[in-house]
Amino acid sequence: MTSPMFDRIALIGIGLIGSSLAQVIRQEGLAGHISVSTRSEATLARAEELGLGDSYALDAAEAVDGADLVILCVPVGAYESVAKWIQPVLKPGAILTDAGSTKGSVVEAVMPHVPKGVHFIPGHPIAGTEQSGPDAGFPALFQNRWCILTPVEGTDPLALEKLSAFWRACGSDVDTMEPDHHDRVLAIVSHLPHIIAYNIVGTADDLETVTKSEVIKYSASGFRDFTRLAASDPTMWRDVCLNNKEAILEMLSRFSEDLASLQRAIRWGDGDKLFDLFTRTRGVRRSIIEAGQETDAPDFGRIKTEPQSRS
């Protein structure tokens, strides 16, 4: 029998990402012991009912004590307080990483509280669904999805390779990039689409000339797909907006300019410009399918079992 990659893995936060990690770690035998921590007594009790860990603690420091790998799976707005909380018990030689969808703010919040000898390597598994909580997780969530690692200056190469191997064992493809570059990339591929979805669904909810029953009745079209994104965890997305605001504002500005251009084309009946735009964007969709990040199967409300890309 192959020995586990880590003797003890601590998961701080046991929502969709944390519970999915717990399951794939168990399934692949990646840890000798899984310790789970969350501040909610009810959530922790549910995680124990589901058998997601080997030990459970409301005290994050208790869960982290002795862990070889610590993964922060809480909203990024809570990182600084958690980092301060666990600092005294982080084990020399341990790897500290995370699953948040912003990286520059994570480095600023966590790095000052990382003891000497602990390997801090920020990370972001680009996988998820609109569901949340410990019941939402499943072990295939990371299968064939990207995990981006953003090592800070002076990162130990062996620790980076060990963490990369861990994510590959979870089913992910692994890439590395600078934290600021990560935040700009994710602002357009994830953060902006979610913000637009929240806004469109909010606009529909505010319309007085269209009843909510009609919106729901006829939503088996483009609007339905926006509602999936707009159903994502509000705490997580509030923190994303607050912690990646410069990159998001830049992308919103670019989007607003392009939207104004599209508005002019529609107003002046510029069919050629509309056709060129729609043709170009259709090509982007095809490229995503060719890259294996989506399927070209017809979607008329089919039940999706594959993980959806998110933050």
- Say if 6-177 and 181-290 have the same CATH topology: no
Label residues 95-118 b or e (16+ Cβ within 10 Å = b).
bbbbbbbbbbbbbebbeebbeeeb
Band of pLDDT at residue 21, cut at 50, 70 and 90: very high
Amino acid at 141: L
Which residues, listed in sequence order, are joined to residue 97 by a DSSP beta bridge?
A: 71
Nearest-CA neighbor of 55 among 36, 42, 40? 36
Q: Which stretch of 79-83, 133-137, 303-307 has the lowest confidence by average pLDDT?
A: 303-307
pLDDT of residue 285: 75
Helix (H/G/I), strand (E/B), else coil: 98: strand
6-177 folds as Rossmann fold (3.40.50)
Residues of the chain with pLDDT > 70: what percent? 88
Domain boundaries, the chain: 6-177, 181-290
pLDDT of residue 48: 95
pLDDT of residue 170: 97
Q: Both tokens of residue 195?
A: 């913000």
Q: Which stretch of 19-33, 86-100, 123-137, 280-294 has the lowest confidence by average pLDDT?
A: 280-294
| CA angle at 6 for the pair 18 and 75, rounded to the nearest 5° | 25
Does 1.10.620.20 match the CATH number of domain 181-290? Answer: no
pLDDT score of 96 more than 50: yes
Highest mean predicted confidence (pLDDT) among 124-128, 171-175, 193-197, 226-230: 171-175
**38-89: pLDDT as tens digits:** 999 999 999 999 999 999 999 999 999 999 999 999 999 999 999 999 999 9
pLDDT score of 119 more than 70: yes
Band of pLDDT at residue 230, cut at 50, 70 and 90: confident
